[in-house]
Structure 1
Amino acid sequence: MVPLLTTPLPVPHGFTTREGGVSQGPYQSLNLSAATGDDPERVAENQRRVLAAFGHPPAAGLRQVHGTEVHLVEGPGTFEGDGLLTRTPGLLLRVGIADCYPLLLYHPEGLVGALHAGWRGVVGGILPKALERVAALGLDPRDVHLALGPGIGGGCYQVGEEVVERFLEAGLPTFTPDPKAPGKYLLDLEKALLLQAERAGLKGERIYRVGLCTHCDPRLFSHRRDRGQTGRMWGLVMLPLRLR
Structure 2
Amino acid sequence: MLERKSHGPVTLVQDACGPVTIAFTERTGGVSQPPFASLNLGTHVGDDAQAVAENRRRVLAALDAEDVACRLLVPNQVHGDHVAVVTSSEPAQLDAVRDEIARGADAIVCTATDVPVMLCYADCVPVVLASPEGFAVIHSGWKGTYARISAKAARILMQTTGADASSIRAYIGPHIRGDEYEVSSDLMQRFAERFPGIDAAGSLLDLASCIRQALAKVGVPEEAIDDAGLSTIRMNDRFFSYRAEHGTCGRHAAVAIMR
| TM-score scaled by length of structure 1 | 0.89
Aligned partners of 2:195 and 2:213 also within 8 Å: no
Aligned partners of 2:171 and 2:226 also within 8 Å: yes
C-alpha displacement at 1:172, in angstroms? 4.4
Please tell me whether residue 103 in structure 1 is matched to residue 92 in structure 2. no
Aligned partners of 1:142 and 1:200 also within 8 Å: no
Match of 2:61 among 47, 52, 59: 52
- Structure 2: runs of 5+ lacking an equivalent: 1-7
Aligned partners of 1:6 and 1:13 also within 8 Å: yes
Closer/same/farther in 2, CA of residues 153 and 23 from structure 1, 3 Å limit: same
Q: After TM superposition, which residue ranges in structure 1, 4 or more long, deviate above 6 angstroms?
A: none
Match of 1:189 among 173, 193, 207: 207
Match of 2:219 among 187, 201, 213: 201
Aligned partners of 1:6 and 1:210 also within 8 Å: no
C-alpha displacement at 1:176, in angstroms? 7.1
1:123-151 deviation per Cα after TM superposition (whole angstroms, max 9, x unaligned): 11101111221332332223211111111
Match of 1:36 among 13, 34, 45: 45
Aligned partners of 1:175 and 1:188 also within 8 Å: no
C-alpha displacement at 1:169, in angstroms? 2.9
Identity percentage over the alignment?
33
Please tell me whether residue 113 in structure 1 is matched to residue 122 in structure 2. no
Aligned partners of 2:25 and 2:253 also within 8 Å: yes
Aligned partners of 1:7 and 1:208 also within 8 Å: no
Closer/same/farther in 2, CA of residues 175 and 19 from structure 1, 3 Å limit: farther
Q: How does 1:1-244 map to 2 (within 5 A)?
A: 1=8, 2-7=10-15, 9-10=17-18, 11-54=20-63, 55-56=65-66, 57=68, 58-73=71-86, 74-75=88-89, 76=94, 78=98, 79=101, 80-108=104-132, 110-137=133-160, 138-175=162-199, 185-217=203-235, 218-240=237-259
Aligned partners of 1:7 and 1:209 also within 8 Å: no
Alpha-carbon distance between aligned partners in 2 of 1:65 and 1:175, rounded to the nearest angstrom: 28
| Equivalent residue letter for 2:157 | V
2:75 alignment partner, SS class: strand
Alpha-carbon distance between aligned partners in 1 of 2:199 and 2:117, rounded to the nearest angstrom: 31
1:153-179 deviation per Cα after TM superposition (whole angstroms, max 9, x unaligned): 11111100221122123234435756x
| TM-score scaled by length of structure 2 | 0.84
- Structure 1: runs of 5+ lacking an equivalent: 179-184
Alpha-carbon distance between aligned partners in 2 of 1:221 and 1:177, rounded to the nearest angstrom: 30
Closer/same/farther in 2, CA of residues 190 and 28 from structure 1, 3 Å limit: same
